[in-house]
Amino acid sequence: MNEKIITFLNSGLLEKYLLGGTSIEETQQIESYIARHPEVENAYNTLQFNLEVVAKTNAVEAPKNILNNILEELDEKPVIQLNTTKKYKKWHQLSIAASIAALIFAGQSYYLHDKNQKLSEENQVVVDEIFDLRSDIENNNKKLDAVMQQFKELNDPNTYKYIMQGNSRAKNLKTVAYINPKEKTSMIDVVALPQLPEEQCYQIWAELQGKMVSLGILSETDRQLRAIPYTEDALGLNITIEPKGGNTVASLENSVAEIHLK
């Protein structure tokens, strides 16, 4: 691999291109490198695969409750029907007119008060929903930061990838461990776990100085890339079948998968 290609791969342009942050000129340059150099194409495919691993279980759902029907139309208005069958004197008619005016004024006052009350309640709903939306945005930003951090760790050249496949006790079991001894980080991606009886579970262990240290319980319902405790100088990883809730001592006779670490 020539120095020009090495410089290009170390520039970070591939990662920037994959995340959609390159300019038109940068995009043309990157696509030209991918087309002309197999080394660049392989690096791009690896980055794309790692991004899919990180993102596959971190989908961000859109908010379920969006602002709906803020204002309601009031189609009906108070109607006062007057049926007169007799003639009244002028002063009596004036009295009736004043009474009607008072009723209309009272009706309008009630209508305005009721409308103001509804608007006040609707405004409060809007305020509450805006607060919820801001909270959702903050949570989504935190999730995005976590995804980007995982993506960064996966693409660190010091991160080693270990595939753990099940033995005859759990043929379909498959998990992938990512360990970075320099940054002292460990992650595991649960790809497939055969179903166990309710009274049993899968537990992952680190082999250290002749003893097994628990790194947690693995669950089919928790299929996502997640961090596990980093164990300094670990010689290997082992997955066993244990009683529900986990065990304090590894049941090595029930081991279903193991690997040796570099």
- 239-253 per-position pLDDT tens digit: 999 999 999 999 999
Highest mean pLDDT among 10-14, 48-52, 116-120: 10-14
Asked if 252 contacts 212 with a C-beta cutoff of 8 angstroms, the reply is yes
144 vs 255: which has the higher pLDDT = 255
Tell me the residue length of the chain. Answer: 262
Per-residue pLDDT band for 77 (boundaries 50, 70, 90) equals very low
Q: What is the mean pLDDT of the chain?
A: 78
Highest mean pLDDT among 15-19, 82-86, 138-142, 173-177: 173-177
Q: Inform me whether the pLDDT recorded for 13 exceeds 90.
A: no
Chain centroid to Cα 121, Å, comes to 32
Average pLDDT (228-244) is: 93
Q: Inform me whether the pLDDT recorded for 87 exceeds 70.
A: no
CA-closest candidate to residue 74, choices 39, 37, 119 = 119
Average pLDDT (231-242) is: 94
pLDDT digits (tens, 9 = 90+) for 126-175: 777 777 777 777 777 777 777 777 777 778 889 999 999 999 989 999 99
Q: How far apart are CA 224 and CA 94, in angstroms?
A: 81
Q: Where are the domains of the chain?
A: 3-55, 61-155, 160-260
The model's pTM: 0.54
With 0-12 / 13-18 / 19 or more C-beta atoms within 10 angstroms meaning exposed / middle / buried, residue 173 is: buried
Helix (H, G, I), strand (E, B) or coil at 160: strand
With 0-12 / 13-18 / 19 or more C-beta atoms within 10 angstroms meaning exposed / middle / buried, residue 178 is: buried
What is the reported pLDDT for 122? 74
Q: Inform me whether the pLDDT recorded for 80 exceeds 60.
A: no
* Structure token pair of residue 90: 């002028």
Please, what is the end-to-end C-alpha distance for the chain in angstroms? 26
Average pLDDT (107-121) is: 69
What is the reported pLDDT for 180? 92
